[in-house]
Amino acid sequence: MRVTLGVERLHEYDRLFRGKRVGLITNFSGISPDWSRDTIHLMVDRGYELAKIFTPEHGLYGAGAGDPVADQRHPKLGIPVISLYGDRRTPAPEDLAGLDVLVYDIQDVGLRYYTYIYTMCYSLRAAAGSGLPYVVLDRPDPLGGHVTGARMDPDIHSFVGDYELPMRYGMTAGETARYFLKYTGLKADLTVVPLRDYRRDMLFPDQGLLWNTPSPALPTFDSVLCYSGGCLFEALNISEGRGTAKPFQIYGAPFIDMDALYEDVRAAVRDDAVAFRRRSFVPNSSKYQGQLCFGLEFQPLRPDCDFLLTALILMKAICGRWPDKVAPQHIPGDEGGDRLAVLSGNRWAEDFLAGRMSQRQLTECWAAQRAGFEAYAADVRLYP
């Protein structure tokens, strides 16, 4: 049985949109389940007055990660398209002026460092400040309801981590909006148009949907599985496979001896949900563009693969073998600070890499924080 998306239920919630000037926050992932029509045109086809479109990171059509996106007009409809990833990340009062409702429809991946949820939360706060109702057209979390990793330390929060969310937080966008309101105490007129036939234990292969690419570097579900943890390599001068056919499944650099790295990782990884091999590659963009790199390629063997610990074991092996070659990586548009801590949530990843925390201690700390988060988030969940 296929999951029914929120956008498929517009007719059931017609009263929220009919006769209203609608602002829609969306991008290329806001689309019908058969890919025949995007959310913009689905709303226009129903006769709704779509007054403004707002876009997150990657813009309406898929700009590169971290690239600022400019305002524009929709090339077919002439509707103003306002970027929330450039000079501003929150709609200004003048952006919301004249609107009657703000609507959000974007496919997420359920990982804290993915910026779409912060665009949602920031715009929800702005809508509340302007007295605007806010509607989330819900979509499934491809990683299901499984929670793992450290919760975000509020002292180092940023646009890639906030609200004490775990790395893999196991909530849909609608549930995350509800969590945000609970966490902040913000009062807002929020409506979630819920999914049908969705359960928390459903991973993407169980949802009966076509893969809806959420951003250019996550072309497959396998890449999302490895992005869970693999994103931490963005903090270092190690390629995470951007600019290859398998982003976040390939890791390496020109200075790595892939035979030695393979043996180190083979001795340390005890996870039958992932396979890996030696791999040389030449990225066509991003780190080491046009240079021959050596490293490892990973392949999830099951949809319940949790790559976080494997990613940290790989990182520790590289840092241990080539400590004089590994260096922090500057990210364009980064807020500054310690990028690894910002992405991982706190200092535990650094402590593990430096040998100040054992693997067992790390996983026990994650488990304790997972239990605390699950208890806190229980009343914001919409799905069994």
Q: How many domains does the chain have?
A: 2
Residues 274, 175, single domain; the answer is no
Report helix, strand or coil for 247. coil
Angle between helices 308-321 and 359-377 (to 10 degrees): 150
Are residues 307 and 176 both part of a single domain? no
pLDDT at 124: 98
Structure letter (DSSP) for residue 111:
B
Q: Which of 87, 91, 141 is nearest to 114 (CA)?
A: 141
Checking if the pLDDT of 23 tops 80, the result is: yes
- The whole-number pLDDT of residue 334 equals 52
Is residue 71 in a domain? yes
We report the CATH number of the domain holding residue 332 as 3.90.1150.140
Which uninterrupted H or E stretch holds 118? helix 116-129
Same domain, 173 and 271: no
Q: What is the pLDDT of residue 136?
A: 99
pLDDT digits (tens, 9 = 90+) for 302-323: 999 999 999 999 999 999 999 9
Alpha carbon of residue 345 to chain centroid? 14
- Say if 62 falls within a structural domain: yes
Average pLDDT value for residue range 60-69: 78
Q: How many CB atoms lie within 10 A of CB 205?
A: 13
Predicted pLDDT at 189? 98
* pLDDT over 70 at 258, yes or no: yes
Same-domain check for residues 38 and 119: yes
pLDDT of residue 68: 80
Tell me, what's the pLDDT at 335?
A: 52
| Whole-angstrom distance, CA of residue 215 vs CA of residue 180 | 23
DSSP for 127-185 reads HHHTT--EEEE----TTTT--EEEEPPGGG-BTTB-TT-EEE----HHHHHHHHHHHHT
CA distance 139 to 52: 22
How much of the chain exceeds pLDDT 70, in percent?
97
In a shared domain, residues 252 and 338: yes
How far is 104 from 113, CA to CA, in rounded Å?
A: 19
**pLDDT computed for residue 336 by the predictor:** 54
Is residue 82 domain-shared with residue 188, that is, in the same domain?
yes
pLDDT at position 85: 94
Q: What value does the mean pLDDT take over residues 374-381?
A: 98
Section 1-27 average pLDDT:
97
358 burial via Cβ count (<10 Å: 0-12, 13-18, 19+): exposed
Q: Does any domain span residue 368?
A: no
Q: Does a structural domain hold residue 353?
A: no
Burial bucket for residue 270 (CB in 10 Å: 0-12, 13-18, 19+): exposed
pLDDT at 25: 98
Q: Which of 69-73, 194-198, 239-243, 379-383 has the lowest mean pLDDT?
A: 69-73
Is 327 found in the same domain as 200?
A: no
pLDDT tens digits along 181-207: 999 999 999 999 999 999 999 999 999
Q: How far apart are the first and last CA of the chain?
A: 16
- Residue 1 is assigned to a structural domain of this protein: no
Co-location of 236 and 201 in the same domain: no
* Cβ contacts of 56 within 8 Å, gap of 6 or more: 25, 27, 84, 85, 106, 115, 116, 119
149 located within any domain: yes
Are residues 208 and 3 in contact, defined by beta-carbon separation less than 8 angstroms?
A: yes
Residues 179 and 311 in one domain: no
3-state secondary structure of 266: helix
Q: Which of 58-62, 304-308, 312-316, 330-334 is predicted least confidently?
A: 330-334
Q: Residue 241: CA atoms inside 13 Å, Cβ hemisphere, count?
A: 24
Domain of residue 237, residue span: 221-346
Same structural domain for residues 210 and 225?
no
What percentage of the chain has pLDDT greater than the value 90? 93
Mean pLDDT of the chain: 96
Q: Is the pTM of this model over 0.85?
A: yes
pLDDT in tens, 208-246: 999 999 999 999 999 999 999 999 999 999 999 999 999
Amino acid at 212: N
Same domain, 125 and 187: yes
User: Is 204 found in the same domain as 275?
Assistant: no
DSSP-derived 3-state class of residue 253 = strand
When pLDDT is cut at 50, 70 and 90, the band that residue 331 belongs to is: low
In contact, 213 and 247? CB cutoff 8 Å:
no
Report if residue 358 sits inside a domain.
no
CA distance 202 to 207: 6
The yes-or-no verdict on residue 63 having pLDDT over 80 is: no
Mean pLDDT along residues 48-53: 98
- 49-55 vs 21-26, strand pairing mode: parallel
Q: 302 in a domain, yes or no? A: yes
Q: Looking at residue 337, what is its pLDDT?
A: 59
| DSSP secondary structure string for all residues of 328-368 | B---TT---S-HHHHHHSSSHHHHHHTTSS-HHHHHHHHHH
CATH number for 188:
3.40.50.12170
